[in-house]
Structure 1
């Protein structure tokens, strides 16, 4: 689905990750670079448990931690991605690039030095459904958690938390 939307899709899943997926694209008639951090709750056969608050706490924590990459120098972000890709050579998949390659990443890194960069942080939770989530009566429900996280992320990036779900 997202493969057509981005120039580079980088699978950074694992300990020390920036995000599960880091996706980059030029926008605004080539005048801006958008960097998306996607935090995923993986599903087996498109099924996860029914969107428990604990799962959202985990995703929310990951999303909040990734804000630090929006506040660091861009060179550090690109350097980290290049290092993580070099480490992948030790494993069967050999690369963390789902789309694009190291040359594409270097090209976008150079582009970022002289153009506006916008960050977006999103969570992807197949077990979330609007109706069921809204029906929760708990004072600590998922919507309140996501609202608070979105506010903090918006203060860091200028963009609200993106939330993708299957229902």
Structure 2
């Protein structure tokens, strides 16, 4: 029995080393559909130092090349703007990724999303940071599907939380 388990562990390790990491695909599941008449445009900036969306045992997965355009499109589809508005909404991405501890037969993962919302107009600037996290443990290994599910869910949750924040709403209507 011990030999079979040892062989299984060795095969798992060889298989894991042989598989090339694939980029994580970000495609938030839903749009929020909020309308802010005072916002004339939305900008998205990726200000993270490590651009990887997943780090497994200290090693970064390949970068997602189109993260900025995907997030910009998603935000533009979620927030209706008005060309006659007076404010620019900037979303500065501060942290976005899954941090995974992969063991032989199990994994533990924590995903985090933090961004800063900035409203700018000729009357001044308002800024606030928002963060959300999600954790999961499971058998075998964490694959891209789990990472993608976490990150896409976090994006939707944090946008909803941010847009429904009374401080944000107050800043919009100032």
TM-score, normalized by the shorter chain, greater than 0.5: no
Larger strand share, 1 or 2: 2
Output the TM-score relative to the length of structure 2. Answer: 0.25
**Larger relative CO (CA 8 A, sep 6+): 1 or 2?**
1
Output the TM-score relative to the length of structure 1. Answer: 0.25
Report which of the two structures shows the higher radius of gyration computed on alpha carbons. Answer: 2
